Amino acid sequence: MSNAMRSEPPIETPRTQPVDTKLEVVVIPVSDVDRAKRFYDGLGWRLDADFANDADFRVIQFTPPGSGCAIIFGKNVTAAAPGSAQGLYLVVSDIEAARRDLIARGVEVSEVFHDAAGVYAGKDEPYLFGRLRIAGRDPDHRSYRSFASFKDPDGNGWLFQEVTTRLPGRIDADGTTFTTSTDLASAMRRAATAHGEHEKRNGGKHDDNWPDWYAEYMVSEQAGKQLPL
């Protein structure tokens, strides 16, 4: 066989792990830096930085409680129009508690609402499930389906989204973490309620192994796996 007819085996390129690329900062366009600082400080968010080089530059960073991502705003940090940031989601484990907290801080927050089960067109302000908001918490208490919204003084739009059970693939299944004591306490309450039903199904007998059951429930819930019965 001639060299022209000889085929070479394909070269296999070794697969490498992707480099971690963590979303850590979202820039919020504001018109009045001091007013925005007072607003986000009033939410109870952590002030990380307030730097200014001269009269033409200032940058402020806040981080919401338990969040791995911060926001930045200031002077000459973005060309976006003030108030143009929309659809900024804050995931919470108890949407009613999160809403009450902001109201107590003097923030105007919408009523809790849920989606219209596959109907996406409407006249309401758009969010993750379209433009139709149905008043009240999701009737089946499904994770990801209950919301409440609020705005900062410039009109940048925020939404609470209640997530109690993660869908598969959304988190690292090899680890279980709770970023705040509030999230941990909420998970323990859900486990306690489910464990009460577990004991009822077993004739009301006290379960001496309840710590193991709680642990399995909480790990499975966060990983999106089947929950113990």
DSSP 144-213: T-EEEEEE-TT--EEEEEE-SSPPTTSS-TT----SSHHHHHHHHHHHHHHHHHHHHHTTT---TTHHHH
Q: Are residues 137 and 158 in the same domain?
A: yes
Which of 29, 59, 85 is a domain's end point?
85
Tens of pLDDT, residue by residue over 124-173, are: 999 989 999 999 999 999 999 999 999 999 999 999 999 988 776 665 55
Tens of pLDDT, residue by residue over 101-110, are: 999 999 999 9
- How many domains would you assign to the chain? 3
Please report whether residue 15 resides in a domain: no
* Average model confidence (pLDDT) across the chain: 88
Q: Are residues 93 and 146 in the same domain?
A: yes
Q: Are residues 117 and 160 in the same domain?
A: yes
Residue 33 maps to which CATH number? 3.10.180.10
Please report whether residue 2 resides in a domain: no
Share of the chain above pLDDT 90, in %: 58
Q: Are residues 76 and 95 in the same domain?
A: no
- Name the residue range of residue 72's domain: 21-85
Please report whether residue 56 resides in a domain: yes
Tens of pLDDT, residue by residue over 162-216, are: 998 877 666 555 567 776 777 788 888 888 888 988 888 888 888 888 888 888 8
